[in-house]
Structure 1
Amino acid sequence: MTPSDMVLTPRGLRFGGLVYPCTIGKGGIYQDKREGDGATPVGVHRVVGMLYRPDRIPAPAPWAIPIGPRDLWSDASGQPDYNQQVCAPYDHSHESLRRADPLYDLVIILDWNWPDAVAGRGSAIFMHRWRRPGYPTEGCVALRPDHLARIAARIRIGTRLIVPAR
Structure 2
Amino acid sequence: MSNVPVILDVYTPGTLFLAGVPFQCALGPAGIVLDKREGDGGSPVGAFPLRRVLYRPDRLEPPETLLPVYAISDRDGWCDDPTRPEYNQHIILPHVATHERLWRDDHIYDVIVEVGYNDNPPVSGKGSAIFMHVARAEYAPTQGCVALQLDDLLRVLRVCGPAAVLQINPPA
TM, length-normalised to structure 1: 0.94
CA distance in 2 between counterparts of 1:69 and 1:16 reads 36
Contact 2:36/2:43 (8 A) holds in 1:
yes
Q: For residue 137 of structure 1, report the CA deviation from its aligned partner.
A: 0.4
Determine the structure 2 residue equivalent to 1:68: 73
Using the aligned pairs only, state the percent identity: 38
**Superposition deviation, residue 130 in structure 1:** 0.6
- Name the counterpart of 2:116: 111
Query: Aligned runs of 1:47-86 on 2, under 5 Å?
Result: 47-61=50-64, 63-86=68-91
Q: What is the distance in 2 between the residues matched to 1:156 and 1:3?
A: 7
2:6 matched residue in structure 1:
4
Mapping 1:12-161, distance limit 5 Å: 12-61=15-64, 63-161=68-166
- Equivalent position amino acid for 1:28 in 2: G
The unaligned stretches of length 5 or more in structure 1 are none
Counterpart contact for 2:9–2:168, Cα < 8 Å: yes
Q: TM-score, normalised by structure 2?
A: 0.91
Structure 1: which amino acid aligns with 2:122? A
The amino acid that maps onto 1:113 is N
Q: Would the aligned equivalents of 1:129 and 1:143 in 2 still touch at CA under 8 Å?
A: yes
In structure 2, the CA distance between the partners of 1:145 and 1:82, relative to structure 1 (3 Å rule), is same
Corresponding residue pairs, total? 165
Q: For the Cα contact (< 8 Å) 2:64–2:154, is it kept in 1?
A: no
Instruction: Mark the runs of 5 or more structure 2 residues left unpaired by the alignment.
Output: none
Given that 1:26 and 1:39 are in contact with CA atoms closer than 8 Å, whether structure 2 keeps it comes out as yes
150-159 vs 38-47, greater mean Cα deviation: 150-159
Post-superposition offset of 1:3: 6.6
Runs of 4+ in 1 over 6 A off after TM superposition: none
Closer, same or farther in 2 for the Cα pair 1:12/1:54, shift >3 Å?
same
CA RMSD, Structure 1 to Structure 2 (Å): 1.5
Counterpart amino acid of residue 144 in structure 2: G
Task: Quote the offset at 1:115 in angstroms.
Answer: 3.1
Residues 103-135 of structure 1: CA deviation (Å, up to 9, x unaligned): 000001101100310000000110001112341
Q: What displacement does 1:18 show?
A: 1.1
State the distance in 1 between where 2:157 and 2:165 align.
Answer: 13
Distance 2:5 2:105 in 1: 36
7-16 or 39-48, larger mean C-alpha shift: 7-16
Letter in 1 for 2:157: A
